[in-house]
Structure 1
């Protein structure tokens, strides 16, 4: 695959997904795409990993097939299976097989949530072989030009029992993403939620206050995604405090004491209405 394989953005009829680069991640992705190298995205929930992949797929002119990892997902869910249709048994490609055949980008989100056999099946696709064994068909499928594998996970969230094996990690080019700097995050929240910069800035200040809590009992922190959701409620006419309560505070915890503590933090940080 060469640079000439990429379609210019201007040839697409759809507007590009909005993504604000915060470092060298775009350059790394472009270089890896030219080589067909698989990419591992690391970063907290809601920091923009999925949007980043969407934006790069658009720029590179690649179809994007996204699969959300979960604990019940098996290799058959990715590769495919035989199904009964009209009284006949027919083979139906899974999303990974479709991407391999069509030369698409296959994005496996939170891959470590899936069963271990799911990770093993991607190994021959993620090294020099670039092929997918389909045991049930007794065949091996070579990846079409343009195919690229992208996986993601949240290192801070996964337990030690759910981590990527070294044999898997070493096949990938890794890109670390994090929440953007306040000025950039304010721009993103304002644009995505459709609110003014001052309101977006207040949400970002709150988000960073929650992220910097000492000894927090929270499993997750306030993500950029959460701040955009809160901003969207404000854009629909909801007061800022009520929007934050619904989209941030109540989402982060079910513990009444934690919710109360977050509410006090919100009262201290947000401007009085």
Structure 2
């Protein structure tokens, strides 16, 4: 394995607790080099799962956080001017296709649709990446795999994946873990006791029940971990919850009051 490839390896095992058969399914998809789409709400473990699978398979991982300003050149590459003249610089998608990495496009729907079209030739029998500006058609390495994620419940009709893109992928549905498992994950991640972790999950469930009734998104597992880390640091649970769970997700005074009341009820 080359030094260029080595730098993208996930060196330490990212902790991940499976909910169903997603590990087995992903391993089968990778064995066939099928592109994979991972769908689920914010902070439910999508990125952690991809990192865990890259570690589990021993494959390099290149992650791209997609945004609305991202261009096709940001993914594929561009010519740059330096003191020696003009040189080509591969983008992350091109690097992944060259070295045989898993390329993970996180929240791909945030990218412009004219940008996501560039992935199409990599997701069918061709497994190629046209580098139009360079006049090259890159054949993807045999180990290359494309993985994308997005949150279908959060997107508007104007920011959804085209059917022509969706139907190029196999897909896994993710959601927040059942309460007992989520509490176990939080305890393992942070070192707080299961009893406190269970209380944090109750607050998270209260917020998730408000989704569509004043909240665009509920409290993620990620935020519950943040709160647990503050508690572990010695911050009082109620203050930790207000800081990590409530204030980041809403400015609505009524919702804040409702969630603060839930915190008082659980940790009062």
State if a TM-score over 0.5 links the two structures: yes
Q: Deviations over 1:221-271 (max 9, x none)?
A: 001000000001011110110100000100111223322222122222x13
CA RMSD of aligned residues (A): 1.4
C-alpha distance in 2, partners of 1:56/1:137? Answer: 33
Structure 1 position 215, deviation (Å)? 5.3
C-alpha distance in 2, partners of 1:14/1:197? Answer: 28
Q: Is the 8 A contact 2:79 2:88 kept in 1?
A: yes
Q: Kindly indicate whether residue 83 of structure 2 is the aligned counterpart of residue 102 of structure 1.
A: no
How many residues align? The count is 260
Q: Kindly indicate whether residue 255 of structure 2 is the aligned counterpart of residue 258 of structure 1.
A: yes
Q: 2:24 aligns with which of 24, 27, 46?
A: 27
Which position in structure 2 is the counterpart of 1:121? 118
Structure 1 position 28, deviation (Å)? 1.0
C-alpha distance in 1, partners of 2:51/2:142? Answer: 19
C-alpha distance in 2, partners of 1:55/1:228? Answer: 18
Q: Deviations over 1:201-225 (max 9, x none)?
A: 1101111121123752111100100
Which position in structure 2 is the counterpart of 1:210? 207
Q: State the SS of the aligned residue for 2:219.
A: coil
C-alpha distance in 2, partners of 1:175/1:35? Answer: 16
Which position in structure 1 is the counterpart of 2:170? 173
Structure 1 position 84, deviation (Å)? 1.5
Normalising to structure 1: TM-score of the pair? 0.92
Structure 1 residues 170 and 250, CA gap change in structure 2 (3 angstroms): same
Q: State the SS of the aligned residue for 1:122.
A: helix
C-alpha distance in 2, partners of 1:219/1:209? Answer: 14
List gaps (5 residues or longer) in structure 1. Answer: 1-11
Which position in structure 1 is the counterpart of 2:132? 135
Q: State the SS of the aligned residue for 2:79.
A: strand
The more displaced of 117-126 and 258-267 is 258-267
Which position in structure 1 is the counterpart of 2:109? 112
C-alpha distance in 2, partners of 1:14/1:216? Answer: 42
C-alpha distance in 2, partners of 1:252/1:169? Answer: 29
C-alpha distance in 1, partners of 2:264/2:213? Answer: 18
C-alpha distance in 2, partners of 1:17/1:220? Answer: 25
C-alpha distance in 1, partners of 2:83/2:191? Answer: 48
Structure 1 position 87, deviation (Å)? 4.4
Structure 1 position 179, deviation (Å)? 0.3
Which position in structure 1 is the counterpart of 2:267? 271
Q: Kindly indicate whether residue 224 of structure 2 is the aligned counterpart of residue 233 of structure 1.
A: no
Q: State the SS of the aligned residue for 2:248.
A: helix
Normalising to structure 2: TM-score of the pair? 0.94
